[in-house]
Amino acid sequence: MGIFFVTLQTDILIEDSRMRFLGNIEARTDSKGRVFLPATFRKVLQQESVEHLVLRKDVHEKCLILYPDRVWIEQEDFMRRKLNRWNKQEQQIFRQFVSDVELITLDSNGRFLLSQRAQSMAGIKQTVRFVGVGDTIEIWSGDEESTFINPTDFSNALEALLGGKENTSE
């Protein structure tokens, strides 16, 4: 009987979340800035017994990201492991990432308040677009021309990124 060694790559975040948000749904804020979270997304949250969400501005795009509380905690823990609290720049990055958030709780009707600050960061006027992106939900201004790559560029990008690589799943 031989000895087997397993090498674990510790710098990869392994998602153990069953939550999967899919879809692209348009909605409108009311005069107070409240918006209904789409029913398909609320259903996923209810199935996973999620009561709280964390909202933050995306670091790359002009949109907001809603994290279910467990997903946020996983992300925060991952960042803490990767960033050294004794390195000034890394601590500043971590501080900004975790402090620039808003805690969200849905009301009994499935609505939540999009603060003026959040609306301003994402350029939201009244129309919003919820986009399910795996274990998070992006919130885009519905007034934007397009938040997606045109179909031809998307196809070309997928081919360039994945076309020559071994793919074990369809």
pLDDT in tens, the chain (170 residues): 444 333 344 444 444 446 799 999 999 999 999 999 999 999 999 999 998 999 999 999 999 999 999 999 999 999 999 999 999 999 999 999 998 899 999 999 999 999 999 999 999 999 999 999 999 999 999 876 666 778 888 888 888 888 866 655 55
- The 10 Å Cβ neighbour count of residue 119 is 19
21-144 maps to which CATH number? 3.40.1550.20
Q: What is the pTM of this model?
A: 0.80
User: Closest Cα partner for 140 from 158, 128, 157, 155?
Assistant: 128
